[in-house]
Amino acid sequence: MLCSRQALAGNELSGWLRDDSEKLNIVATYNLIYNAALMVEEGIGYALCLDKLVNTTSSSGLCFKPLEPRVEAHLNIVWKKYQVFSKAAEKFLEKMRQEI
C-alpha cells in the first residue's frame, strides 16, 4: 500500500483503522499523489488518496474505490495576507466563497 506521508504523520486514518494499522503493508509513502499514481500504474501497490485527484476515467488504467465506512477529510484553503491574485485565482476564490 502507498499512503501519503501527511496522512500517516497526522494519524488521519487511525480512527478508521482502529487497531488494524499494524496489519497494513505500507511499502512507500508519497508527498504528491501524481507520483503515487505512477507507482500504482507500475504495479507497486494501491494508493490511499482523496477522490478526483487522479485521472480514473476510462482512458486511465486506474480506478477509485471508496473506503467503507466512509472516511472524510476536512481541508483548508489558505493564502498569504494581502496577496495580489491573478484574475483566474480571484474567480476561483469567488466561486469557493459561494460554495461554502
**pLDDT number for residue 62:** 94
91, part of any domain: no
| Contact present, 2 and 31 (Cβ < 8 Å) | no
Domain count, the chain: 1
Relative to beta strand 28-30, strand 2-4 is parallel
pTM listed for this prediction: 0.68
66, part of any domain: yes
Phi first, then psi, for residue 7 (nearest 5°) are -65, -40
At 20 the three-state DSSP class reads helix
Q: How far is CA 87 from CA 13, 26, 28, 76, 94, in A?
A: 37, 42, 38, 21, 10
Residue 4: other Cβ atoms inside 10 A: 20
Residue range of the domain that includes 60: 2-73
What are 25-73's pLDDT values in tens digits? Answer: 888 889 999 999 999 999 999 998 889 999 999 999 999 999 888 877 7
